[in-house]
């Protein structure tokens, strides 16, 4: 195999390219966050686990072209830890493609429509978070064991998400975000925040239903009915909101639902806010199944894993002619570009045929 000369690519050369933007705006910040996270997680991991976490993302290989206008991850050293910012991001990108394929296949082959359901409850204290999630899981099972729900729901995909409020005072941004909540309590900017250091677990759920569901008043479940049932299952009348909406067949509506389910269970700026906050998230999320599939979606997930749904994956039409190798050095990536050999060109482009990661996340 002939050896093609490699050349270093500077940060300035990367800035205006598609691949450069990915490295500088997405990968690098997550690698920097990984450096912070390793100090938070070190007491929970073995010596080997700590080393894997610390060196995660130290090396990437991207398939690209000479102009760096196309990109695809070819290789990387990943630790696989769910609390690693880089691995969480990679998982979310892959989940987005998987969920998108499942929706398309189920819609076409089983003639299903979809509903986006969000179930929440009032915030809880850090010490009660684990118990609150357990309560959510039990209430969710009760809800979907109800006769009227079982009658119409043919399957679901469910994601657990947790948010936290770590603002002691009501900032301008926070007031704008939760204006109705603060107005109701007579609170304004710079007042003490009553939700400071509280946590909000909630479920994002995509439901599969028959097309006739939306036109059949005998089986249709209204938003108020969902709310009443969720209150009863949670045994909590303080719950005042559930969000229920049809997922339209439009790309915008479906992509929105996909991203709600595929995104992180905890935002990076929240889970890595401080060591104390990280400890709360870690103890609450460790060992839990964050994304679950039921019914028709579980059936089609098995098909996806066997490659039986590959026809629904978008085909990658790009031609990759070069390989960019990125090495983490202290606080940035150093990058070397080389042309693919004739053998690599054929092998790597064939391997890159189907898109495996979403660029939306």
**For 65-86, what is the mean pLDDT?**
94
232 closest CA partner among 138, 159, 157: 138
Q: Tell me: pLDDT of 4 over 80.
A: no
How high is the pLDDT of residue 1?
39
Contact present, 278 and 316 (Cβ < 8 Å): no
> Strands 7-9 and 291-295, how do they pair?
unpaired
Give the list of residues 6+ apart from residue 57 with CB closer than 8 angstroms, or none. 27, 30, 31, 34, 76, 77, 78, 86, 328
Which class for 115: exposed (0-12), middle (13-18), buried (19 or more C-beta within 10 A)?
buried
Mean per-residue pLDDT of the chain: 94
Give the C-alpha distances (Å, rounded to integers) separating 45 from 31, 76, 86, 91: 19, 21, 17, 20
Which tens digits make up the pLDDT trace of 130-155?
999 999 999 999 999 999 999 999 99
How high is the pLDDT of residue 144?
98
Band the pLDDT of 88: cuts 50, 70, 90.
Answer: very high
Contact present, 307 and 313 (Cβ < 8 Å): no
Which run of H or of E encompasses 260?
Answer: helix 251-262
How high is the pLDDT of residue 211?
94
Residue count (the chain): 361
Can you list the pairs that 105-111 forms with residues at least 24 positions away whose Cβ atoms lie under 8 Å?
105/300, 105/303, 105/304, 105/309, 105/312, 106/155, 106/208, 106/296, 106/297, 106/300, 107/249, 110/154, 110/208, 110/296, 111/210, 111/211
**For 56-71, what is the mean pLDDT?**
95
Give the Cα separation of 118 and 235 in Å (integer). 17
Q: Tell me: pLDDT of 58 over 60.
A: yes
* Look-up of token digits 């990759």: 320
In percent, the amount of the chain with pLDDT more than 90 equals: 87
Which tens digits make up the pLDDT trace of 182-236?
999 999 999 999 999 999 999 999 999 999 999 999 999 999 999 999 999 999 9
The neighbouring-strand residues paired with 326 are 60, 335
* Higher pLDDT, residue 102 or 361: 102
Q: Tell me: pLDDT of 247 over 90.
A: yes
Which tens digits make up the pLDDT trace of 25-43?
999 999 999 999 999 999 9
Give the Cα separation of 285 and 134 in Å (integer). 11
Give the Cα separation of 186 and 182 in Å (integer). 6
Give the list of residues 6+ apart from residue 13 with CB closer than 8 angstroms, or none. 20
Angle formed at CA 130 by CA 244 and CA 294, multiple of 5 degrees: 45
Contact present, 288 and 83 (Cβ < 8 Å): no
Band the pLDDT of 309: cuts 50, 70, 90.
Answer: very high
Give the Cα separation of 295 and 202 in Å (integer). 21
Which tens digits make up the pLDDT trace of 105-121?
999 999 999 999 999 99
**For 308-324, what is the mean pLDDT?**
94
Q: Write b or e for each residue in 89-103: b if 16 or more Cβ atoms lie within 10 A of its Cβ, otherwise e.
A: bbbbbebbbbbbbbb
How high is the pLDDT of residue 357?
78
Q: What is the pTM of this model?
A: 0.92
Band the pLDDT of 250: cuts 50, 70, 90.
Answer: confident
| Structure tokens that stand for 186 in this block | 């007579």
């Amino acid at each position: 195999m002939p050896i093609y000369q490699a050349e270093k690519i500077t940060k300035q050369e990367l800035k205006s390219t598609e691949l450069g933007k990915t490295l500088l705006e997405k990968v690098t910040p997550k690698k920097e966050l990984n450096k912070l996270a390793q100090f938070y997680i070190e007491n929970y991991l073995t010596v080997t686990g700590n080393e894997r976490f610390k060196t995660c993302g130290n090396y990437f290989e991207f398939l690209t072209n000479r102009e760096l206008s196309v990109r695809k991850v070819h290789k990387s050293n990943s630790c696989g830890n769910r609390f690693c910012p880089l691995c969480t991001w990679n998982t979310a990108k892959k989940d987005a493609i998987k969920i998108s394929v499942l929706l398309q296949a189920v819609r076409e082959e089983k003639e299903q429509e979809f509903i986006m359901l969000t179930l929440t409850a009032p915030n809880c204290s850090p010490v009660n978070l684990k118990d609150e999630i357990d309560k959510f899981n039990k209430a969710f099972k009760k809800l979907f064991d109800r006769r009227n729900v079982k009658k119409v729901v043919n399957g679901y995909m469910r994601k657990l998400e947790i948010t936290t409020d770590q603002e002691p005072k009501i900032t301008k941004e926070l007031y704008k975000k939760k204006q109705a909540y603060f107005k109701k309590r007579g609170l304004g900017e710079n007042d003490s925040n009553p939700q400071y250091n509280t946590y909000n677990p909630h479920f994002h759920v995509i439901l599969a239903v028959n097309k006739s569901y939306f036109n059949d008043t005998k089986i249709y479940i209204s938003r108020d009915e969902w709310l009443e049932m969720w209150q009863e299952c949670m045994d909590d009348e303080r719950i005042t909101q559930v969000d229920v909406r049809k997922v339209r067949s439009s790309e915008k509506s479906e992509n929105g639902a996909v991203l709600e389910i595929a995104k992180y269970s905890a935002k990076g700026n929240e889970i890595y806010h401080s060591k104390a906050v990280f400890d709360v998230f870690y103890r609450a999320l460790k060992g839990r199944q964050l994304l679950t599939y039921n019914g028709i979606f579980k059936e089609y997930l098995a098909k996806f894993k066997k490659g039986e749904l590959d026809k629904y994956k978008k085909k990658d039409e790009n031609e990759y002619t070069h390989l960019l190798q990125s090495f983490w050095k202290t606080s940035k990536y150093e990058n070397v570009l080389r042309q693919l050999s004739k053998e690599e060109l054929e092998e790597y482009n064939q391997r890159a045929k189907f898109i495996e990661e979403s660029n939306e996340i």
